[in-house]
Amino acid sequence: MRQADSVDATVAQHSSVSERHRDRISREAFAQSPVSRLATPSGSIAYTRAGSGPPLLLVHGLGGTRRTWQAILPRLARTFTVIAVDLPGHGESDAPLGDYSPGAQASTLRDFVLRLGLESLSLVGHSLGGGTVMQFAYQYPERTERLVLISSAGLGSEVTPLLRAATLPGAERFISGLPMLPRAIAHPALEALSRLPYLMSREDAAPIADALSTMGTRLHRRTFVRTARTVLDMQGQMMSATGTIAALVDIPVLLAWGADDRAIPPEHHRRVAKRLPLAQTCEILDAGHFPQESTPMALTDAMIPFLESSIAHAYDEQRWRSRVVLGSPANG
């Protein structure tokens, strides 16, 4: 499933124009779709629901919103009941005063899933959302069928200096000026920034410009900084699933990433895949940190077969106890 040879690279390059056309149509359809809301103990959660079939929960990353999925949601909705959420404090969801850690976000997602009347489901997480759905799987394995981790956080300590800077004193004040830049200025400026090594991929300029435009209110900027400080410091990522990854070996996992991701090193995914016997991998050559936005067809070409063919995780208390409580692998 890994897209790394010359044939796949050629396909990705030739599909870019048509993908941008489909992306524009998807954005328009998504913008016209009604927002739904569901009350949880953490406040009202905004979400978009589409399609029918097995439930699939999409979880965005740091500073993002459910709109990051707008290019892939229509295709996924042909086969699945797709539910794209705004995490607390992001997008149109309420912002709690307290904890924005992945554990707290996972608890909110559990409450949200219960309110929807779902017993279990597959989860898709991008970036910090990947770390959040891994935490969900660890806290609530009985409700987790599969995981799709896209450019996922929590798999290693290295991260782009741009995100580390969000933890500095005064970061919120600096960020407050960025949403005021018109997109016509912000996008080219970010493309120019991508020419510097280790900061960001050129493919990510547009998604980052869109994300900055959503932080126009003090509430959203505060959420961004508070969330960043729960998982990052100037040394890199503080959140790490590497100590608990052994507990997830019975859960089917797809790890997908862009070959030019400069936010989170692709090597993180390769290392973790070696530790998960049920893991599948997909490296997308023409993508950076946001393959769901820059190369939606290539990403869904990997996601859909995985979601349809992998056997859903069935929780077993004895096996979970062996892995977590006793700290040893289960037999069989």
Candidates 269, 309, 300; CA nearest to 131 is 269
The pLDDT of residue 254 is above 60: yes
How do residues 90-115 score in pLDDT, each as one tens digit? 999 998 877 888 899 999 999 999 99
Sign of the Cα torsion 19, 25, 28, 31 reads: negative
pLDDT at 185: 62
Is residue 211 one of the residues assigned to a domain?
no
Residue 116: CB atoms within 10 A of its CB come to 17
What's the confidence (pLDDT) of residue 191?
Answer: 62
Is residue 191, in this structure, part of any structural domain at all? no
Tell which wins on pLDDT, 222 or 69. Answer: 69
| Token pair listed for 26 | 């998807």
End-to-end CA distance of the chain: 26
Asked whether the predicted pLDDT for residue 260 surpasses 60, the reply is yes
In a domain, residue 186? The reply is: no
Residue of higher predicted confidence among 237 and 135? 135
pLDDT tens for each residue of 81-90: 999 999 999 9
Q: What confidence score (pLDDT) does residue 62 get? A: 87
Question: Any bridge partners for residue 219, and if so which?
Answer: none
**Residue 197 vs residue 136, higher pLDDT:** 136
Can you name the residues that pair with 281 across neighbouring β-strands?
255
Provide mean pLDDT across the span 27-46.
83
Give a yes or no: residue 126 inside a domain: yes
Of residues 186 and 74, more confidently modeled: 74
Residue 276 has pLDDT above 70, yes or no: yes
By residue range, what is the domain housing residue 103? Answer: 6-158+236-325
Q: How far apart are CA 267 and CA 255, in angstroms?
A: 11
Entry pTM: 0.82
Residue 174: the pLDDT is 52
Alpha helix (H) residue ranges in 140-290: 161-164, 171-177, 183-193, 205-213, 218-231, 267-273
Q: Residue 3 corresponds to which tokens in the numbers above?
A: 């897209």
In the predicted structure, residue 150 carries a pLDDT above the cut 80: yes
Q: Classify residue 210: in a domain, yes or no.
A: no
Cα gap 123→121, rounded to integer Å: 6
pLDDT in tens, 193-205: 655 666 667 787 7
What does the alpha-carbon distance between residue 126 and residue 224 come to, in Å, rounded to a whole number? 15
Q: What domain count does the chain have?
A: 1
How many CA atoms lie less than 13 Å away from 191 in the CB half-sphere? Answer: 8
How far apart CA 81 and CA 73 sit, in angstroms, is: 10
| Residue pair 259/284 in contact by the 8 Å Cβ criterion | yes
Residue 243 or 195, more confident: 243
Measured between alpha carbons, how far is 201 from 259 in angstroms, rounded to an integer?
A: 10
Pick the residue with more confidence: 10 or 223?
A: 223
In a domain, 131, yes or no: yes
pLDDT band per the 50, 70, 90 thresholds, residue 301:
very high
Q: Could you tell me if residue 285 is inside a domain?
A: yes
Query: How far apart, in whole angstroms, are the C-alpha atoms of residue 110 and residue 126?
Result: 18
Q: What is the CATH number of the domain that holds 67?
A: 3.40.50.1820
Q: Is the pLDDT of residue 15 over 50?
A: no
| Statement: residue 250 has pLDDT above 80 | yes
Does residue 190 lie in a domain region?
no
Nearest to 61, CA basis, from 231, 180, 271:
231
